[in-house]
Amino acid sequence: MHSSSNMEQEAAAPEEEVNSPVSEQGVAANEAAGTGKRKSDEPREPEASGRGKRRRGAGGKKLRPGERYIPPPQKRNPGVSFSQEHYSETSYYFEGGLRKVRPYFFDFKTYCKGRWIGKSLLEVFETEFRAEPLEFYQRAAKEGRIRLNETPVEDLSVVLRNNDHLRNTVHRHEPPVVGRPLEVLVDDGEVLVVDKPASIPVHPCGRFRHNTVIFILGKEQGFSELHTVHRLDRLTSGVLLFARTLEASKKLDQLVRDRQLEKEYVCRVDGEFPEGEVTCEEPILIVSFKIGICRVDPKGKECRTVFQRLSFNGKTSVVRCLPLTGRTHQIRVHLQYLGFPISNDPIYGSSAWGPNRGKGGLVGKSNEELLRALVEEHRSQESLHLLDMQDDGIAILQQAEKSKTCEKPDVTCEPDLSKDAPQTQMPTGCTSSSATVEEVKQGYTDSNTNNSSLQESQIQSNGNLTEETDSSQKTPAVTRDSLCSECKLVRPDPTEKELIMYLHALRYKGPDFEYSTRSPDWAKEDWVEEST
């Protein structure tokens, strides 16, 4: 999925150690905006009268010649949750220890933003969605991918007006995640507690939808209407709480506000962390919502974290962390400030922060320079997928990535897709198709439905995953979209090591409850990292 195609930004902030309860109904309502779950998404029909055609909802005003009818905005249903329709968009399979989602077609929807009013669609695509060239949108329009008030738009010079409703059909590719299943620790009807594996986001955001905790719990185990009590970073593992009822959500919400919930994390950091209790109270400022970057700054929000060293193996230390507030990336930023970043933190352990990697808050770069340095470092290491970002932040990375991938001899760059041009070889799993989007979507859904029981049966009763033995299932035939730039790239799979950060939510405790998980292997006192 590409930011250029996403006309409705996901409303979720970067996932972190956050103590702000968010009802999953609210998340679902946002997500439903991309799946048509409104009270009515159908355009209203013209209403005939004896003196000419009038439109319902237009105040009885007669349309002038050439004037476009714009239906009134429809109210969203806040009670909408994910349904079988959402889960059936595609299927998944396991390969190489990873959980992979088959690419699928998806409709993004949005009402016209205030700043777009009076601008043409072409201007909006040129200024707001720059990760793809204008030719991409022009071709998408010709193929019926772009709709305005449910009517296909072929001419992007149409000027947008208030309440215009846009729909964009895209071919979505989700990054793979660790294949370990979600383990349910507690389900008492009021609270659901799971042990979240690293690499899986809590709810749909950025490029992730099916490879998220919310979708997996709903599709595989039937949990719905979950209320988020707190969130974890995508690369962070451990205890994750959901309230199953509104009453439980309000109760936990109040405990959060009264600071009666205690969270305990464990991490592994570079160097020999000091003995005794270490407290950091430096304020934290969000530098970029798009990529999810924070730093210590006097203008930031107050926060406090207590640390205690548990062990030291000569190179790295295992540290107990007690965040007493819930700021974005609080533990990671405070450890960086103290000079002991998490050993494999792809952001706050990066050399882009300077020779001392941000110790003491000394970076020597502006926020813009820091962001560019982070992107460039991950681009050079071919690890851009490790940066957490919102949809509108992906454009920064895509531009950098394109300049890199087109230099690689083993990567297929975007070919000339004119009728007479030779077709470049596609990566395994993509097959050429000249079918319409609707035909492809229908056939794709049907073909996946037949395999879903086989794929999901790979999660055995003991919670372990089994590799697919059928080679045709390992490299499934996926419909190729001629407009999708992701279909034209060959990406190496991330390793499981790349998808795991040494930060684990070990315990979540309240006045009358306590939930905990096993400590991960990397937190053992005698653990030594394998050399690569």
Tokens at residue 66, please? Answer: 């050439």
DSSP state of 81: -
Looking at 41, 187, 188, 233, which residue is catalytic?
233
User: Tokens for 158?
Assistant: 């149409």
Q: Are 464 and 92 in contact (CB under 8 A)?
A: no
Write out the two tokens for 399.
């531009």
Find residue 197's DSSP bridge partners.
none
- In terms of DSSP H, where are the helices of 287-393? 330-338, 367-380
SS3 of residue 269 by DSSP: strand
521 is catalytic: no
Distances in Å between the Cα of 266 and the Cα atoms of 234, 306, 506 are 16, 12, 6
**In which residue are the tokens 């991330």 written?**
494
Query: Which candidate, 76, 35, 25, places its Cα nearest to that of 209?
Result: 35
Cα-Cα-Cα-Cα torsion 203, 206, 207, 211, nearest 10 degrees, comes to -10
Measured distance CA(224)–CA(232) in Å, rounded: 19
Where residue 76 falls (left for φ over 0; alpha for ψ -120 to 50; beta otherwise) is beta
The answer to whether residues 234 and 201 touch, using CB atoms and an 8 Å cutoff, is: yes
**Contact by Cβ (8 Å): 3, 131:** yes
Say which residues have a Cβ less than 8 Å from residue 66's Cβ, sequence separation at least 6: none
If we measure between CA atoms, which residue out of 1, 35, 210, 26 comes closest to residue 108? 35
What is the distance, to the nearest Å, from the Cα of residue 242 to the centroid of all Cα atoms in its chain? Answer: 19
The CA-based angle 493-428-105, given to 5 degrees, is: 85
Judge whether 306 and 322 are in contact, CB under 8 Å: yes
| The amino acid at 34 | G
> Annotated active-site positions, please?
233
